[in-house]
Chains A and B, each alone.
Chain A
């Protein structure tokens, strides 16, 4: 009896391991196929960092200005690039040459960099495995599909070019660590726990910044990492609060002008310009980095208070995602790619309840859609659309299976096995899937339809109706429309965090 049982558990484990690798491998195949497609200047940025970390001593990393793409990521990422540069040097030395390598774009460098991104996703695979290994099989598979097959990851990392898959792993590992060591109310309570935690954090920071502190360069490093010299918004506006703020300002200015006030057009732009220059707003007060910082802190505070008063391990993922989201919504010079950092962690809790699933469904579609302008060339258009459609349909399948009575599904499948009925008849899908299943409601549906309209307008109607006039409108529409969705998601999460007493055990 017990023998049979252990064989079965082993089988389950084997097949679940195979599923995980299978998902990864299938995703990797698609990513490999996409190697020759469009990549942004970030590709050259990362190549330059390979060269920079390889050919210069550590003391000059944050000072070098050979290329406009200066190093502006934290030290750990620089170490990572240093590590990769060893292999790059081995494969093609020109990749890591500081001057000769500038704008080098042969096949070797493209293949090398693309493949390193694909391989670095292995760390994400590990993180997600650690986080989900105690969940039931169905939820586990669903989360794997959501994360490993994330269309946003493919768009940002494998097309546009970045290493987010690698960066994201930090978060899961951190959760697991916390879970393992601090959530069982064991002997090490109170002061001891705090001490260890503090020590770990300090150790990490020392490892990262120590060498630069030692060289007395910490100011330079910080100034590179936090570019307050840049504008409030990135070149393409990330869908956050400031987009709405800017639009409100424009609208007010237009309105006031029409009723007779004398409004001066602002001289500065939102995306560039130094702090302290004239305000880019005509009516509303100017926003400074300090304002955004205070806003982020304010937005975070309810979550921090809640976490302090009622620390529960099940909520950590949520809190971290929420924190990222506050940064995204209210931060200074936010890049639209940053939405990855809260959408991926939220996938882990997406299947917890029907409400979570509904929220995640909309949020991940909106966030993925907001990345569309990153791939602006025609060749990649079908790719991004197919990725999003595929993701949506998978989510829909997964969530509706999750929230259809699990017992009913099992029963019907078993029944079907016995009956051996053929699939030709449409009667077989369980009747249960139609009542009480996954449904995003009419508001959600109409919001998504609006998304389609925005896209059709930008791609088809605007060029037909307006021709070359107002070329910025499609992008602006995407930003504004997505900002509304993200803002809704933020409010929803805030509420979810504040009234979370009853939900989990």
Chain B
């Protein structure tokens, strides 16, 4: 945790190397324990919709899915029946989420049957039930996300770059103690650690040249949360670009295609027996009727709606087309770069850029989806430390209203502080700070705005005419920063040195 960064480049030895001297896996273990401790500590705080009938919040949704999956046959999970009222938190994630709910539901049923009893368990908030739910997230995190990160670190430092041990430790700490992910999963209550963990696993496999494993893992991520599709352009372009450079491109593409198809068939098997069943599930996953945006999310549609009333001017159908074409246009450059010159470094940037395009321009984005672009940013921490810092701060800021509603203000500020502490871990700080004065003034200005908005949001009541004035301002500020960051990272991807590309291509052949 704490010190294990540092050392390495500086002349000044301030006495921290002892934390990394045993080799990187001990440091990883140490950081992982600390990261778990932080997660457990966050989980003692309230979750979304705690004590707030009749619909409660995401916690109740997840619990309800456990109730449905453990009590009903698999064919009825996505169907509206007398026992499964889809208007009360009907399942709206792909089958792997349902299976996960089933397994966790079995656990809950073993230790505390009342918390997953059909109908009677609605709004269950008993001490043991809550605790068991929290522990299912913790264990998912520890069993999926953490090993995936370890796999990534090994692959990354074997193929992409070298780093001193303290730098590696610093990198691990920033990936594992990602404040947004912790707040959403262990505070608000979701299982993003599973789909993101599977994605990290897929990325790590790509980095260690196990493309088939990567495809399987990525398909699993996609079957856990459809939002993982944000990364699809990057995976597709890198793997496709790589296949093109092989001796028999067609064979390679077909091989990957079959693996993808096979994985999907296995995961989706129970719903493949009829067209209706499949359509039934798919329509649950894409709730177009909910409009192009909800609440206040810092993306293009929501921000510009202050000026252009999208929802009034266009039909849902044309908005779908509009958002689709905007998304494609924005991730296309990064895709083209990867197909032209696939590289591992470029792949990581590609993940960031495509996820950002989806977050900013696609249909029906939720503010929690900022986790997806944030993930590749943490993976790029050593390359782009400033990007990571800036993005994490504004990503946190963009979910602040949500966390405020969940009564998670204390963990919000604490984790922000903890993130900055880790970022500026002893003797790491000199390395991360030299910029031109003008730029830094602009940064200071934006940071100051964010700080003032925090205070205002917490203390001042919004004017009656504009009850969501502050949410809109927060969204505006975050959006502006995200746009700057996405432009920056696209430029960075195109600027990658061709030397490294050649180097990587040699390795491929």
A residues with CB within 8 A of B: 8, 11-12, 15-16, 18-19, 22-23, 25-26, 29-30, 32-37, 136-138, 140-142, 145, 149, 378-379, 382-383, 386-387, 389-390, 393-394, 397-398, 400-402, 404, 409-410, 413, 416-417, 420-424, 426, 428-430, 433
A interface footprint on B388-418 (CB within 8 Å = 1, 0 otherwise) = 0000000000000000000000110011011
Which residues on the B side are within 8 Å of A420 (C-beta)? 162
Number of chain B interface residues as a range = 35 or more
- Whether A30 contacts B12 by the Cβ 8 Å rule is no
Complex Cα gap A390–B8 (Å): 24
Closest 8 CB pairs of A and B: A401-B18, A137-B15, A424-B158, A33-B41, A422-B162, A141-B15, A15-B14, A29-B418
- Whether A33 contacts B164 by the Cβ 8 Å rule is no
Which residues 2-26 of B have a CB within 8 angstroms of A? 2-3, 7-9, 11-19, 21-24, 26
Complex Cα gap A30–B426 (Å): 18
Knowing A12-B12, A426-B23, say if A33 contacts B33 (CB, 8 Å). Answer: no
**Highest count of chain B CB atoms <10 Å: which of A22, A378, A426, A430:** A22
Which residues on the A side are within 8 Å of B19 (C-beta)? 394, 397-398, 401
Knowing A8-B12, A145-B3, A423-B24, say if A30 contacts B18 (CB, 8 Å). Answer: no
Complex Cα gap A66–B183 (Å): 43
Which residues on the A side are within 8 Å of B158 (C-beta)? 422, 424
- Whether B414 contacts A379 by the Cβ 8 Å rule is no
Which residues on the B side are within 8 Å of A417 (C-beta)? 8-9, 164
Whether a CB of chain A sits under 8 angstroms from the CB of B51 is no
- Whether B427 contacts A387 by the Cβ 8 Å rule is no
- Whether A36 contacts B44 by the Cβ 8 Å rule is yes
Whether a CB of chain A sits under 8 angstroms from the CB of B163 is yes
What's the dominant secondary structure at chain B's contact region?
Answer: helix
**CB-nearest residue of chain A to B135:** A382
Complex Cα gap A22–B13 (Å): 16
**CB-nearest residue of chain A to B161:** A422
- Whether B14 contacts A19 by the Cβ 8 Å rule is yes
- Whether B34 contacts A390 by the Cβ 8 Å rule is yes
CB distance from B46 to the nearest CB of A (A): 8
- Whether B427 contacts A29 by the Cβ 8 Å rule is no
- Residue from the list A386, A397, A410, A429 in contact with B40, Cβ < 8 A: A386
- Whether A386 contacts B33 by the Cβ 8 Å rule is yes
Which residues on the B side are within 8 Å of A379 (C-beta)? 44, 127, 131
Which residues on the B side are within 8 Å of A18 (C-beta)? 426, 429
Knowing A33-B411, A141-B18, A404-B21, say if A393 contacts B33 (CB, 8 Å). Answer: yes
- Residue from the list A37, A149, A423 in contact with B162, Cβ < 8 A: A423
Which residues on the A side are within 8 Å of B34 (C-beta)? 390
Whether a CB of chain A sits under 8 angstroms from the CB of B157 is yes
Which residues on the A side are within 8 Å of B417 (C-beta)? 25, 29
**CB-nearest residue of chain B to A25:** B421
Complex Cα gap A138–B37 (Å): 26
| 15 more A-B residue pairs beyond the given contacts A15-B12, A19-B14, A398-B19, with a C-beta to C-beta distance below 8 A | A11-B12, A12-B14, A15-B14, A22-B3, A25-B417, A26-B418, A29-B418, A33-B415, A378-B128, A386-B36, A390-B33, A393-B26, A394-B19, A400-B21, A422-B163
Whether a CB of chain A sits under 8 angstroms from the CB of B1 is yes
- Residue from the list B13, B38, B42, B418 in contact with A137, Cβ < 8 A: B13
Which residues on the B side are within 8 Å of A145 (C-beta)? 2-3
Which residues on the B side are within 8 Å of A22 (C-beta)? 2-3, 421, 424-426
**CB-nearest residue of chain A to B182:** A33
Complex Cα gap A23–B425 (Å): 9
22 contacts between A and B (CB under 8 A): A12-B12, A22-B421, A29-B414, A29-B421, A30-B38, A32-B414, A33-B414, A34-B44, A137-B15, A378-B131, A379-B131, A390-B30, A390-B34, A394-B19, A400-B22, A401-B21, A404-B21, A413-B7, A413-B17, A423-B163, A423-B165, A424-B154
Complex Cα gap A390–B414 (Å): 20
- Whether B18 contacts A142 by the Cβ 8 Å rule is yes
CB distance from A130 to the nearest CB of B (A): 18
Knowing A401-B17, A416-B164, A423-B24, say if A19 contacts B3 (CB, 8 Å). Answer: yes
Complex Cα gap A428–B17 (Å): 14
- Whether A393 contacts B30 by the Cβ 8 Å rule is yes
**Highest count of chain A CB atoms <10 Å: which of B1, B3, B7:** B3
Which residues on the B side are within 8 Å of A387 (C-beta)? 37
**CB-nearest residue of chain B to A406:** B18
- Whether B163 contacts A394 by the Cβ 8 Å rule is no
- Whether A389 contacts B16 by the Cβ 8 Å rule is no
Which residues on the A side are within 8 Å of B2 (C-beta)? 22-23, 26, 145, 149
Whether a CB of chain A sits under 8 angstroms from the CB of B253 is no
